[in-house]
């Protein structure tokens, strides 16, 4: 499998409402931990509904460099991990994506050793892995950080009890992946409950581990030898939310297929407060549109089931055209308002103070050249370009390709004018 790097920009012509039907892809944030779960076994694993994204392809490359054989076609990924012999993850791949840290738990569980580079990904704050390491230390691992690598080793695997100091999605997933290989009762408290975490738990159960949830406490009964599995990735709630915002922002009417509204309760509630309408249809799809002007909001990002930080940028683009003043408070990541100045290039009036953004709604945005600063910011800039007068140039769209499958193609199918061009 070849690494596909993107060096392109998007031309977005504004003024056309999104109209029609579109199918939401599988969730990247579910697919990646599921792919790393294949390291827990030496038997074939099949995943369906996997999005074709840069992070997914980098993860498959990582699995291959560890010794696995992979096959990816039309949303189906087959992984044969029987030949995995290495416990050292390649630096050139880990530094490209935050989720690469998720190989730590499986490698430690499989080999009692792991050597993993410190992770990369979006530049939206430090995103430390101290909670991961505290869990592994509590599990008995010796840990050394040197030359940009985390080196872990275990003498024996024993069940433990551990409480996360704060709710962390990847920390929870890493702990679950490791605990699935430990015989006996491991108790993990203050775990994340995102749908993607629950999807991983379902796969671990198929592999033979027992996982029980009681509120934010997970009790895991692992097995030394886990089975292979077949599993379908859940729909991407963030892609669905992004397209919902696009429909409301442009004043269009969009039917979304392959969506789970129960994963989007906080997003739908805020969208309807802003003037959007979300109708759940009998065939499992949803119809999204707007009545009247966009209304201002006050919202705060929170851990699930609260309003997701991954939808903050898209709502900022929406509220830039609201009829009044809005406030967004970012409580999950620091440094996640860099898209505000890019939206201001389009004519938005956004002021950032600390972890709060104050948005004075304007009547019109204007096309300009803007730069993506992270994955969700790139989507927000494209959405803003859909309603800006004239043409918007969105650069550094490799961020977009990390987390949205064929995003501009889906927008074009809904009537948008979006063109991808290579950088010179």
Q: What is the pTM of this model?
A: 0.94
Residues forming the active site: 122
What secondary structure does DSSP assign to 31-66, as a single string?
HHHHHHHGGGBSS-EEEES----HHHHHHHHHHHHH
Boundary (domain end) residue, out of 168, 200, 232: 232
Task: Give percent above pLDDT 90 in the chain.
Answer: 85
- Residues 170, 126 within the same domain: yes
Domain boundary among 232, 250, 281: 232
Per-residue pLDDT tens for 176-232? Answer: 999 999 999 999 999 999 999 999 999 999 999 999 999 999 999 999 999 999 999
d(Cα 150, Cα 118) in Å, to the nearest integer? Answer: 7
In-domain check, residue 1: no
Q: What's the confidence (pLDDT) of residue 21?
A: 98
Q: How far is CA 7 from the centre of its chain?
A: 21
Tens digits of residue pLDDT in 80-102:
999 999 999 988 887 777 788 99
34 domain residue, yes or no? yes
The set of residues, in sequence order, having a beta carbon less than 8 Å from that of 214 and lying 6+ positions away, is: none
Q: Quickly state the pLDDT bin for 118 (edges 50, 70, 90).
A: confident
Q: Is the pLDDT of residue 6 over 70?
A: no
| Average pLDDT score over residue span 270-287 | 96
Q: For residue 107, give its domain range.
A: 28-232
pLDDT band at 174 (very low <50, low <70, confident <90, very high): very high
Predicted local confidence at residue 2, as pLDDT: 45
Looking at the fold, whether 327 and 343 belong to one and the same domain comes out as yes
Tell me the pLDDT tens digit for each residue of 302-345: 999 999 999 999 999 999 999 999 999 999 877 789 999 999 99
Residue 58 in domain: yes
Residue 152 in domain: yes
Please state the rounded mean pLDDT for residues 154-167: 96
Q: Are residues 264 and 375 in the same domain?
A: yes
How many domains does the structure of the chain reveal? 2
Q: Determine the Cα–Cα distance for residues 271 and 248; give it in Å rounded to an integer.
A: 8
Same domain for 277 and 180: no
Strand extents, DSSP E, 37-173? 45-48, 69-73, 76-80, 113-117, 142-146, 149-153, 161-163
Query: Does position 412 have pLDDT exceeding 50, yes or no?
Result: yes
User: Do 307 and 382 have their domain in common?
Assistant: yes
pLDDT at res. 120: 53
Tell whether 223 and 251 lie within a shared domain: no
Structural domain includes residue 3: no
Domain boundary among 186, 217, 232: 232
Q: Give the gyration radius of the chain's Cα atoms.
A: 21
Residue 125 has pLDDT above 50, yes or no: no
CATH number assigned to the domain comprising residue 411? 3.65.10.10
Shared-domain flag, residues 265 and 314: yes
Residue 424: is its pLDDT beyond 80?
no
Please check whether residue 2 lies inside any domain of the structure.
Answer: no
Instruction: Tell me, yes or no, whether 328 and 270 share the same domain.
Output: yes
Note whether 76 and 152 are same-domain residues: yes
Same domain (yes/no): 20, 66: no
Is pLDDT of 413 > 90? yes
Q: How confident is the model at residue 51 (pLDDT cuts 50, 70, 90)?
A: very high
Q: Determine, yes or no, domain membership for 180.
A: yes
Residue with tokens 């889906």, as numbered in its chain: 410
* 173 neighbors 102 (Cβ within 8 angstroms): yes
Asked if 216 and 332 sit in the same domain, the reply is no
Is 295 inside any structural domain? Answer: yes
Assess whether 182 and 239 both reside in one domain: no
């Amino acid at each position: 499998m070849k690494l596909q790097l993107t060096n392109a920009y998007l031309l977005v012509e504004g003024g056309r409402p999104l109209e029609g039907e579109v199918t939401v892809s599988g969730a990247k944030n579910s697919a990646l931990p599921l792919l790393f779960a294949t390291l827990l076994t030496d038997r074939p694993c099949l995943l369906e509904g996997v999005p074709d994204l840069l992070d997914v392809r980098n993860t498959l490359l990582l699995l291959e460099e560890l010794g696995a054989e992979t096959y990816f076609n039309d949303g189906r990924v087959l992984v044969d991990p029987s030949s995995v012999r290495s416990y050292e993850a390649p630096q050139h791949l880990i530094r490209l994506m935050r989720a690469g840290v998720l190989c730590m738990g499986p490698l430690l569980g499989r080999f009692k050793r792991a050597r993993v580079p410190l992770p990369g990904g979006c530049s939206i704050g430090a995103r430390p892995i101290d909670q991961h390491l505290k869990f592994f230390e509590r599990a008995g691992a010796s840990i050394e950080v040197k030359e940009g690598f985390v080196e872990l080793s275990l003498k024996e695997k024993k069940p433990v009890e551990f409480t996360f100091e704060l709710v962390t999605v990847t920390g929870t997933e890493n702990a679950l992946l490791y605990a699935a290989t430990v015989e006996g009762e491991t108790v993990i408290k203050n775990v994340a409950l995102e749908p993607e975490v629950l999807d991983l738990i379902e796969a671990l159960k198929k592999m033979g581990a027992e996982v029980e949830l009681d509120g934010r406490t997970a009790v895991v009964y692992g097995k030394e030898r886990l089975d292979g599995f077949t599993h379908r990735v859940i729909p991407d709630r963030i892609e669905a939310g992004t397209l919902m915002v696009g429909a409301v922002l442009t004043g269009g009417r969009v039917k979304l297929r392959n969506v789970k509204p129960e994963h989007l309760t906080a997003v739908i509630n805020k969208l309807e407060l802003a003037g959007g309408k979300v109708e759940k249809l009998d065939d499992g799809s949803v119809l999204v549109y707007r009545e009247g002007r966009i209304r201002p909001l006050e919202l705060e990002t929170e851990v699930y089931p609260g309003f997701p930080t991954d939808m903050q940028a898209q709502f900022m683009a929406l509220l830039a055209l609201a009829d009044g003043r809005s406030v967004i408070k970012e409580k999950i990541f620091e440094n996640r308002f860099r898209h505000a100045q890019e939206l201001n290039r389009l004519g938005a009036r956004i002021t950032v103070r600390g972890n709060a953004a104050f948005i004075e709604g304007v009547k019109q945005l204007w096309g300009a050249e803007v730069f993506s600063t992270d994955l969700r910011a790139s989507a927000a800039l494209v959405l803003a370009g859909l309603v800006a007068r004239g043409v918007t140039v969105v650069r550094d769209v490799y961020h977009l390709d990390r987390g949205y499958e064929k995003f501009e193609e889906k927008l074009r199918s809904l009537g948008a004018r979006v063109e991808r061009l290579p950088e010179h």
